Structure formats: structure tokens, C-alpha cells
Amino acid sequence: MAGRSTRPTLEEVAEAAGCSLATASKALAGRPEVAVATRVRVHAAAVELGYERRPRALAAQPKRRTILAAFDGFGSVYSASVLEGAMAAAAKADVEVVVGLTPTVEEGGVDAAWLERRAATGVLGILLVTALLADGLHETTERLGVPVVCVDAKSRDLGSIVTVGSASWAGAALGTQHLIDLGHERIAFAGVNKDFDFALERYAGYRSALERSGIEPDPTLAFPGDTEYSTGFAIGTRIARSPRPPTAIMCLCDAVALGVIEGARRSGLRTPERLSVVGFDDLQPAHWSSPALTTVRQPLRRMGALAARTLLRMADGHEPDSTRIQLATSLVVRSSTAPPADGEAGGEPGGDATAG
């Protein structure tokens, strides 16, 4: 048809997101009655299609205050929980949240050019969740004058960038101490990663708990990895096939822990009868798994809300109280941990369950 616009339409966004036209409109307007998962799908579809919302009826009104919440992916309950907290806090301040994706690790993560393009859209600030940040990015944020707050950044060179997270060191120490109190001595760690601050803190907390109890950390039981289920599955498989597997394992996150349980199970090592497993997050799948996962709970919704409130205060000209904000963690004991089987608590260090 002659003269028909080629701009993407709201109908196309709704179709891509798998929802009704009315729901898509409400999601883009930031209406609180739309489920978080649906809002994520609608915003992601709008970004993918290049849709720009231009409500004519509101054209004469002042421009809405907006922040950008950018994630490295939306495939986890973690992301939805943090986003729900951030959106609730923003709504109380009458601020809209635009949701987007950060560049992947393979694409080099968030760099100066990416940040400059987002800052140029006029947002009040940028919230980055589990994003990989390029080295020296704090210099760009200072130059642009647009506040940036990170939640669980996958980086170490953060400089003056404000980060919000949980007490990773204390949480991992708490989870490891639970295993020690059950009688375990040969305790592994899944997810050693020197590139992420939170991963380093959790590994350090694990080691500290062992050392305080007089147990020498065994480097062959320190398994490198990331936060993916597949990483845990591979580690669980390797442990189960070892002549002398550990009797317990502290994991970097719930996804890794659930992968460890399934990988070990498929290779004949059952949880908790032969392998006790502790996660870190307390996501909904931890409740549903079989056995239900013992884990360290971090307050994800509170983290998202605090990050959004901090970002808005910075946008209003206030200095943050701290550049490193950590919320308390707690241990949730379920059925994936138990005392070691008779005669299997410790043993001589070493063995063939190597982490290299």
C-alpha cells in the first residue's frame, strides 16, 4: 500500500512478545499490573524491532523521567527478581524503567562507545546488572556525568563506579561452615573465577571457613567456572567419575549447584547421600529441585530496589554513601545437604578429582 509506514508497530511488538496489544501497551507504559516476565519480553521485543513509543495524547506533557536497566541476559530468575525490585523502586519515584541488553562477553562487554550511546538518549542514569565492564570504564562515566550503578558486575576494574551486591564472602563462609558442621572435611568449590569480584569473595569465604576449622584447602578441589548450569553439570560429572570424590561442594551460585547435582546424579553419585551441595542465590528453582537445594539467600529484589534508589539519588546530585554496597545474606537449609556417609568425611588430601 502506497505511503504505508515501515516503522515497527505496537502490534508487531505484542506478537513478538506473545501477548495482547493492550498488555504490550501497558508494559511499555510501565504499568505495575503487568507481570515482570511479560514486561521483560515486551521491552526486549521493542528493542529488537527498533520500536519507539510515541503516545500522541501525551505529546504536550513533560517528558517522563527514565532510567535504563541493562542486563547481560533475561534467561534466569535472578534477572527477573532484580528487575522487579528496581521497577518497584522507580515507580515510587514516578520514574520509568527502560529495559535493554548489554553486549555479551564474546562482544567485549560494556565499553565506552556503548555507554556514550545510551547516555545520549537522555536517561537519568544507567543500571547495569551482571554485566561485563571494560577496563577503565569508570573514567567514561565520570566524563559523561551520567550516573551508573552496577549489580554483581562481572569485572574487577570498577574504580569509582557504584556497585550493589550481597555479602558474598560472609555468605560463602556460612555455607561452607554448614558443611563442616555436618562433619564434612573434603569440601570442593565450584566456580573459581578470578575475573569477577563476587566470585573471588565467595571463594575467599569458602577458604576462610576451612582454615578456621583447621582444614587445609585442597587446590585439586577448586574447580574453575562461571555462573552457568552447564558449568556445574560438567563439574558434577567430573567429580562423580573421580576415584576419590569430595563429600561436599560449595557452589558459586544456584545454577551451578543444580548443574552439579544433575551431572553427578547421571554419573551415579547421588545428593545428598554421597555428595552434599550448597548453592548461592535462593532462586525459585532451588525450591523446586529434587532434592530441594540448601543455599545462601541473597535479597535480589532488595538489591534491585536499592540500586535503583541509589541511581536516582545520584541523578539528583547526591553523592553515594559508599561505592561498595553489600546486603546481608542468610543460610537456607533444605535437603541437598546431610552428614557424610560412614567413613567418607575426609581422607588424605589430593586425589584425582582435579580442577585443572
Give the model confidence (pLDDT) of 10-22 as tens digits.
Answer: 888 889 989 888 7
Mean pLDDT, residues 53-77: 68
**Same domain? 150 vs 101:** yes
Q: Cell 534477572 maps to which residue?
A: 79
Let me know if residue 355 belongs to a domain. no
Give the model confidence (pLDDT) of 227-250 as tens digits.
Answer: 899 999 999 999 999 999 999 999
Check pLDDT > 50 for residue 38: yes
Domain coverage including residue 155: 10-53+62-166+301-327
Least confident segment among 144-148, 204-208, 303-307, 347-351: 347-351
Domain count, the chain: 2
Q: pTM for the full model?
A: 0.77
Distances (CA, A) of 36 to 9, 41, 50, 80, 297: 22, 9, 21, 7, 21
In the structure, what pLDDT confidence band is assigned to residue 27 with cuts at 50, 70 and 90?
confident
Three-state SS string across 285-349, please? HHHHCCCCCEEEECCHHHHHHHHHHHHHHHHCCCCCCCCEEEECCEEECCCCCCCCCCCCCCCCC
Let me know if residue 1 belongs to a domain. no
**Same domain? 282 vs 184:** yes
**Same domain? 246 vs 111:** no
CATH (domain of 238): 3.40.50.2300
**Same domain? 191 vs 158:** no
